[in-house]
Chain A
Amino acid sequence: MPEVSLQGLVKKFAQGNHLALKDVSLDVEAGEFVALVGPSGCGKSTTLRILAGLEEADAGDILLGGVRVNDVPPDQRDIAMVFQGYALYPTMTVRENMGFPLRMRKVKAAEAKERIEKAATLLKIGKLLDRRPHQLSGGERQRVAMGRAIVRNPRVFLFDEPLSNLDAALRTELRVEIAELVRKLGRTAIYVTHDQAEAMTMADRIAVMNQGIVQSYATPRDTYERPATAFVAGFLGNPRMNLLDASVQGRMVRASPFAFEWNGADTVKKVGLRPEELGLADRGIEAKVIGLEPLGAETHVRVEANGQILVLRVRGFAKHRIGDKVHLSPAPAHFHAFDENGDRVEERA
């Protein structure tokens, strides 16, 4: 039985007939860390808020441990949430902030103290307990917000873009810590982010959402290597996958400037090639370098071939210059095919 089960959630928003969630179903196993990713407005935060009980679904069911909780108020769902803006209580000290959920649940003072201190040690904020939120840095505030969630020892942790207000270095550091912490506590976690790096590194499974629908739900590796839809293919990966218009002609799929052998359905309308699946060679399809983005460890090379703009990834600094003629050599087995609806099409074995 899944720990969290969302079944056919629909959410309309009051203004207009815009559907924030069209049909969201998702099962999360106990102890699993699931990332919800997608562009802004895809419904990921709404899904989380409905699960927390902060918003009501117009249709569909929310099950926690197999029990339907649609009508259970947020505080009785045994869910803790960490917000993007930390949502600390500004008039309370760190200790009072962390103790607030315990105080509301009438936990005895001695036990509360012990739980607060244990959580503070775990999060390395023991020295900050008597400060107020405005005296803390962004990273410290986020730790306190985590602490307030941990002391409750909830069944499920929800994270709503908890790191997006922090600088890049701190984000990388904290994402490792959060993932470790949640696994150490052995709790189920659902983590909303628009940062694909967070989703890839932290999650056991990634649910990619777009326009109120879960487009794919799989392990990070499967999501990356065998994206279920053209949208997922384009969303995960930096630089983005090259997506080319394609058509099947006999035993070939043609996607200008390429043509690949194809042994599958003739419904293919798009072909995707990851930048690292395209290489430069001495022979092959002619292309012109039109842009270079050296990043140190790798360089993103933008080329034009037959009117198509493609991005490819080379190691280190590229020896090419803008305007150079190059030759492309796609790795033949590594391309992704999608049909008219953007769904993945597999080759016959």
Chain B
Amino acid sequence: MMRPRKWSDPGWMLAPTTILLIVFFIAPIGIAVYQSFFSWDLLTPPKAVGGANYLAIFKSGELLRVTGRTLFFSAMVVTGAMSIGLALALLLNRRGLWFSFVRSAVFSAYVVSWVAVALLWLWILDPDRGIVAKGLHVAGVSSVKLLNHPDTVLPVLAGVTVWKITGYAMIMFLTGLQAIPNEVIEAARLDGAGAWSRFRFIIWPMLRPTGTFVGTTSLVISFQAFDVVRVMTQGGPARASTLFVYAIYESIFMNLRVGTASALTVAFFVVLLSLSWLQIRAWRQKA
């Protein structure tokens, strides 16, 4: 085994990352945990209230509602982004200018800022001037307000999120696909495996690590959804699109309740951590 010449050497090398990790991750979580035990409106001095904030978000049903909503949204985003990303990767994994163009086009959505994407879709879905409404109008359907209905708002926001991050999932799956040696696929062809068997028995098992990675990252991305909500619906109608991060934002910056927001943040952290852990474990077990 390699040993450092001086005990401090590894310390120096790890320091930059450690400092960043402490300043931007560990300390904020610590502060959030600390503040979650206080009641504070940013104006008057904070008051220690013990676990009252947690009890409040739990009792009011706010935590459960927000978690449920976010889980529903995440489930749509993760399955959507993964299945469409994988399908696109399988379709576009060939040589040629045309395929390379389509790949870049699909991926380009991932590079655009969230706010720009939200604004673009807001315009597309505008009930009066948007192209969706105009198209439906021609087809005889009058004014559809997808963003103004509690039943449709979350699927629409999930659709926008999928539209944006599918390019990322596709690139990841493409990388995974390209790591599969051509010989292996050819061997499977000679062994009598048709396209579906090749996918099921050879390609998909070899893509599993990529799948785990894409699944976990899109879970995290979807859980952190904020910009689309902020720009497109502000959590409405009737809080139907108030997702977790937006709920935190709302309680701190609109309701000036730092303690409640901190309690939500801590709950958010715990939920996301356990979900990621569960997901990774599930994929490993299947492998």
Contacts and interface: CB of A to CB of B under 8 A. Distances in A.
Contact of B184 (A53, A84, A89): A89
A85 B191 contact: no
Nearest to A80: B190
Nearest to A101: B191
B190 A52 contact: yes
B189 interface: yes
Nearest to B198: A104
A89 B200 CA distance: 12
Nearest to A154: B190
A88 B202 CA distance: 10
Interface SS of chain B: helix, strand, loop or mixed?
helix
Which of under 10, 10 to 19, 20 to 34, or 35 or more describes the interface residues of A? 20 to 34
Contacts of A85: 181, 183
B190 A74 contact: yes
B206 A91 contact: yes
A87 interface: yes
Q: Report which residue of B183, B190, B201, B287 has the largest number of chain A beta carbons within 10 angstroms of its beta carbon.
A: B190
B119 interface: no
Contacts of A101: 190-192
B187 interface: yes
B83 interface: no
Interface SS of chain A: helix, strand, loop or mixed?
loop
A81 B181 contact: no
B108 interface: no
B130 interface: no
A75 B206 contact: no
B287 to A, nearest CB: 8
Q: Report which residue of A84, A92, A101 has the largest number of chain B beta carbons within 10 angstroms of its beta carbon.
A: A101
Contacts of A80: 190
Q: Report which residue of A80, A101, A104 has the largest number of chain B beta carbons within 10 angstroms of its beta carbon.
A: A104
Contact of B191 (A54, A90, A104): A104
A83 B183 contact: yes
Contacts of A260: none
A119 B193 CA distance: 21
A83 B186 contact: yes
A160 B253 CA distance: 68
B188 interface: yes
Contact of A87 (B187, B192, B197, B208): B187
Nearest to A160: B183
Interface in A98-118: 100-101, 104-105
B204 to A, nearest CB: 9
B202 A89 contact: yes
A48 to B, nearest CB: 11
Nearest to A52: B190
Contacts of B201: 89, 92, 100
A188 to B, nearest CB: 16
Interface in A219-236: none
Interface in B162-207: 181, 183-184, 186-193, 197, 201-202, 205-206
B206 to A, nearest CB: 6
Contacts of A152: 191
A239 B190 CA distance: 39
Contacts of B184: 87-90
Q: Report which residue of A52, A88, A91, A152 has the largest number of chain B beta carbons within 10 angstroms of its beta carbon.
A: A91
Contacts of B181: 85, 87
B190 A81 contact: yes
Given A85-B181, A85-B183, A90-B206, A74 B197 contact: no
B219 to A, nearest CB: 24
Nearest to B202: A89
A287 interface: no
18 contacts: A52-B186, A54-B189, A75-B192, A80-B190, A81-B187, A83-B186, A84-B183, A85-B181, A85-B183, A86-B183, A90-B184, A100-B188, A100-B193, A100-B201, A101-B192, A104-B192, A104-B193, A152-B191
Given A75-B189, A89-B201, A91-B287, 13 more contacts: A54-B189, A73-B189, A75-B192, A83-B183, A85-B181, A87-B183, A87-B186, A87-B187, A88-B184, A100-B191, A104-B192, A148-B191, A152-B191
